Structure 1
Amino acid sequence: MAGPAEPAGSTAGRAPGQRTIVLVATVVSLAGVLLIGLGLSGIVGGDPEPVASVRHESTAPAGGLPLTDVPLSKVAEPMRAARPTAVYIPSIGVAAPLMELGLDAGGAIENPPFDPPNQAGWYRYGPVPGQRGAAVITGHLDTRTGPAVFARLKNVKRGDQVQVVRADRSVAVFVVDKVEHTPKRRFPAKKVYASLSYPGLRLVTCGGAFDRRAHSYEDNTIVYAHLAAPYYPGG
């Protein structure tokens, strides 16, 4: 679903090769530390045929980590390293587990499974969400039977929160800076995999019209965000 990937600079151990990234997504529920999370997907050779008149159901619990006293517009200092385990986007009802994504034999980000449809993925050769650099999470838009984890990603707005639960029970709380819709043939790899001086996050899925001849969506939806509030249980 995404476009060709490029190195993310010194913050990424390895970067995917020049090849089309394919994504899609679904929403499911899961409990987490004060926050709920689940999550993402990755890349595939072609997208499934879109399903007409499928009703999107979300079992994600309402609410999230209460951060009303935190200045969310400020870029926070990097967090210590901890493997991401779930992603939660309250504004669109996403609560999904995260799997790790590496590289396939062709040098592109490896394919995530279509089943379960709520599965999202974190590119493990890039930065860890919460640390300095552009962490990348991908998820499918849909499957052959219905919507997937990032089915509503295009509805995310500037200022929305993206919460990433990590293995040490900490939560990296990001705030969305912008949402971009771009043709796959002009995938902005340098921006997505940029070497940032601050902790950033990119969420990527498919979008636009479905090309039945190519069996692929024509565009990508990309969300750009910055770390606004690191949360550690117990203070």
Structure 2
Amino acid sequence: MTATPAGGRHGRPWRAAGTAVVVMFAMVGAGLVGASMRGTPTARPPQPLSQAGTDVRTTSGPGGYGVDQEPTDPDTGSAGEGQLAAGLGRATPTTIAIPRIGVDAPIMTLGTNPDGTVQVPPLEQALSAGWYSPGPSPGETGNAVIVGHVDSAKVGGPAVFFELGALQPGDAITVSRDDGSQATFTVDEVKSYPKKAFPTELVYGPNDRAGLRVVTCGGQFDKNAGSYLDNVVVFATMTG
């Protein structure tokens, strides 16, 4: 399958980004987690309370991968409703803190690979998260995307987002930015999607609010492929 350049804030329209974005998440086993493990992981990462596999309708997207046909909008949930914050200017994120799961990690800036697919953090830095910089920065209007490994042999086991699936609506995520500001987000929803039904539009698509999407791997570990079968996605909206 031939990848197209990933869309973004300064790139092609979001709907034209589907192939590259889905390729990135289709290869999470080789990038975002599972294939970095040799053999079966000793512990399975927590799974979201809300499992998307039974209620997501998909259709064939670019390259034959599924995308949401008629997705619901996680940003219309009750968490933070009536307390939405106005979008900030653009600034590079530096750290991400998620108190419920004990995350306080640096954020590196990611772009795209020469073939147009989205970069992921190096396995040697699996305790750091990565921001997809062609898209909005955390706090800007639109969906900012932060990705990270769930585990890695390079760091001896659990990585930065191992506990991501344990988050619940109402939990707080704070992203510090290089302009000295902080953007605080409230979790709206946490879901697990099969990799071939990744909700490209919900993650990378447009948003008239300042949204945040945090992504890692989850579900069952496929020993033959050396990767997890699903992606865990946290949907959040800026509230402070």
> In the comparison of the two structures, how many residue pairs are matched?
192
Does 1:19 pair with 2:19? Answer: no
Change in Cα spacing, 1:150 to 1:5, as seen in structure 2 (3 Å) is farther
Contact 1:101–1:124 at 8 Å: present in 2 too? Answer: yes
Contact 1:117–1:149 at 8 Å: present in 2 too? Answer: yes
TM-score between both structures, scaled by the size of structure 1 = 0.74
TM-aligned CA deviation for residue 116 of structure 1? 2.8
Contact 1:123–1:137 at 8 Å: present in 2 too? Answer: yes
Change in Cα spacing, 1:23 to 1:219, as seen in structure 2 (3 Å) is same
Does 1:226 pair with 2:237? Answer: yes
TM-aligned CA deviation for residue 5 of structure 1? 9.7
TM-aligned CA deviation for residue 47 of structure 1? 4.4
TM-score between both structures, scaled by the size of structure 2 = 0.72
| Secondary structure at 2:168 match in 1 | coil
Change in Cα spacing, 1:53 to 1:161, as seen in structure 2 (3 Å) is closer
Of residues 85, 97, 118, the one that matches 2:127 is 118
| Secondary structure at 2:140 match in 1 | coil
| Secondary structure at 1:154 match in 2 | helix
Greater fraction helix: 2
Does 1:182 pair with 2:171? Answer: no
Note the residue ranges of structure 2 that are not aligned, 5 or more in a row: 45-78
TM-aligned CA deviation for residue 117 of structure 1? 2.6
| Alpha-carbon distance in structure 1 between the residues aligned to 2:110 and 2:24 | 15
| Secondary structure at 1:78 match in 2 | coil
Identity of aligned residues (%): 41
Which residue matches 1:148?
Answer: 159
Which residue matches 1:28?
Answer: none
TM-aligned CA deviation for residue 44 of structure 1? 7.0
Contact 2:33–2:227 at 8 Å: present in 1 too? Answer: no
Change in Cα spacing, 1:147 to 1:112, as seen in structure 2 (3 Å) is same
Of residues 41, 44, 48, the one that matches 2:37 is 48
1:164-183 Cα offsets, whole Å, 9 max, x none, are: 00001110000000001110
Contact 1:96–1:118 at 8 Å: present in 2 too? Answer: yes
TM-aligned CA deviation for residue 23 of structure 1? 5.3
